[in-house]
Amino acid sequence: MDPLNKAEEMASAWKALAGSSRGDEGWMTIPVSLKSSCKLLAGRRFPGNEEAVIVGFPSFQMPSKGQLPEGRGFGVAEVCLGGNTSEGGPGLAWMKGMQIVNGGQTTASIYFTKKKNADVNLKNVRVSVKVLVLKSDDSEKEEELISDISKFANSQNSVKQADLSANKPFHVAIEKLSTSVFCPDGTGRWFYERATGSYNTLLAREGRTPTTLKKLKDSIPNARKITKTDLAKYLFSWSQKPHTVALGSQKNFGEMMKEVEAGNLTAEIDTASYKRMIAKAIIFKATNKLVRPMFQAFQGNVATYLVSVLANQLGDRFDLEKVWQQQDLSHKLKQQLEVWAKEVHSVLQKTSNGRMISEWAKKAECWEKVMETSYSKPIAGIPEVI
């Protein structure tokens, strides 16, 4: 049946159920036609009047109304409802709030294979699944358990610390803002990749045609994608911790998460603070682009230290809001960064005393030496300087 007609049929069923409680409590259901072996019911729960879609699978006996979840519509806390199959064994009748902890790649592969190749027959494809029902009311313990499952169930692949922190409220809040805060042009926006690979998943899911894919890439280009480790690099470079950034993406991310857990970065994350974060990303990206052609090696270290020098020299007078509005750095600021880049590079070379700059840059002593250095006076008329 046409999906639109199916949606209309479901809506009609819910509407019919709206006046059918007669003072009863619990679930009332109406079967919805489905050309398959599955059973589909439109459900409405009274007295709260919540709606739900209830699916029954082959060889499974649908539970009675009293066995259905007592949640609040689509906000129910339970993950699944167990029951017995017609053969008498345990089964699964209903699932809600499900999260794939380990197996996302498998799920995505199956989904996109069918999406891109409609003729592919997946009838005989079977995937073993372990379903864990989390009954604790402690969200922190649940998050810790989910993290441990992901960590220890991936013995074939290394699990990065950044991936284990994807569900932290800090990252969830930033992701939410990235989907609702648009750039000053009113059409584009930045993408915060809280879950690894979610940017490509978005393109594959919503870019159904070449036209829609192009429009999506124009709105959210890869250049405006920020990963969790990227964010840590941008924030710590501006916070004048270049030696921590130099430790590498995962170690630097770990240090940032310590700051988050200590409450130093968990102040209310609102639209204004999100824009400041993006401004710091723009500063780092522009600085990195500027530095790369200037030196043959250690450009990453120079860029990180240069951003920290910028924050140290002008931070208290620097207008991050202007960077957000421009979505770029002014010509004069770039000129100033070119001057300081040469000076920072020179300091790193002189103070390393023959050591590899990439190793020397990891030392707090290195940043102290860089801060002790006198730099050229900022040129006049930089728009970002208040």
Instruction: Kindly give the pairing relationship between strand 225-227 and strand 191-193.
Output: parallel
The total of other beta-carbon atoms located within 10 Å of residue 368's CB is 11
Which residues are CB-neighbours of 41 under 8 A, at least 6 positions away? Answer: 29, 30, 31, 32, 53, 54, 55, 56, 62
330 in Cβ contact with 383 (< 8 Å):
yes
The whole-number average pLDDT for the span 68-73 is 41
**Angle in degrees, CA 328, 329, 335, rounded to 5:** 150
Rg (CA), the chain: 27
pLDDT at 313: 95
Banded pLDDT at 42 (limits 50, 70, 90): confident
The two structure tokens encoding residue 167: 């569900």
pLDDT at 63: 52
Starting at the edge strand that comes first in sequence, how are the strands of the sheet with 50-56 ordered? 26-32, 39-46, 50-56
- As a whole number of angstroms, the distance between CA 182 and CA 193 comes to 16
Phi, psi of 198 (to 5 degrees): -70, -25
Phi, psi of 180 (to 5 degrees): -120, -20
The two structure tokens encoding residue 257: 């998460």
Residues in the chain: 386
Banded pLDDT at 277 (limits 50, 70, 90): very high
The total of other beta-carbon atoms located within 10 Å of residue 135's CB is 9
pLDDT at 5: 55
**Against a cut of 0.95, is the pTM above it?**
no
Given a cut of 90, whether residue 108 has pLDDT beyond it is no
Instruction: Kindly give the pairing relationship between strand 26-32 and strand 39-46.
Output: antiparallel
285 in Cβ contact with 269 (< 8 Å):
no
The whole-number average pLDDT for the span 301-318 is 95
337 in Cβ contact with 314 (< 8 Å):
no
The whole-number average pLDDT for the span 102-129 is 77
Given a cut of 60, whether residue 364 has pLDDT beyond it is yes
Element (H, E) at 83: strand 80-84
Which residues are CB-neighbours of 168 under 8 A, at least 6 positions away? Answer: 143, 257, 260
For the chain, the domains span: 3-95, 104-159, 160-386
- As a whole number of angstroms, the distance between CA 271 and CA 144 comes to 28
- As a whole number of angstroms, the distance between CA 239 and CA 277 comes to 11
Given a cut of 60, whether residue 347 has pLDDT beyond it is yes
- As a whole number of angstroms, the distance between CA 230 and CA 162 comes to 10
- As a whole number of angstroms, the distance between CA 116 and CA 291 comes to 41
Given a cut of 80, whether residue 35 has pLDDT beyond it is no
188 in Cβ contact with 220 (< 8 Å):
yes
Share of the chain above pLDDT 90, in %: 49
Share of the chain above pLDDT 70, in %: 65
- As a whole number of angstroms, the distance between CA 384 and CA 386 comes to 6
pLDDT at 294: 96
pLDDT at 82: 45
